[in-house]
């Protein structure tokens, strides 16, 4: 999966750029998942304090 062919030219630079883009997308997805989790944990902590 680390091998990319664009216009029949194989270059390591293109593969590295795609890896970077993939990492950015994964990071963004993780942030999208972590943010609601943080909110849930915060709400849970508040409830535990009130109980």
DSSP codes, 11-46 = -HHHHHHHHHHHHHHHHHHHHHHHHHHHHHHHHHHH
The rounded distance, in Å, linking the Cα atoms of 13 and 11 is: 5
Q: What's the pTM?
A: 0.47
pLDDT tens across 1-51, in order? Answer: 455 555 565 555 666 777 888 888 999 999 999 999 999 999 999 998 887
How much is the pLDDT for 2? 56
């Amino acid at each position: 999966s680390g091998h990319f062919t664009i216009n029949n030219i194989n270059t390591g630079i293109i593969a590295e750029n795609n890896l970077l883009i993939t990492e950015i997308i994964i990071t963004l997805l993780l942030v999208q998942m972590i943010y609601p989790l943080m909110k849930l944990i915060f709400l849970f902590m508040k409830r535990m304090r009130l109980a």
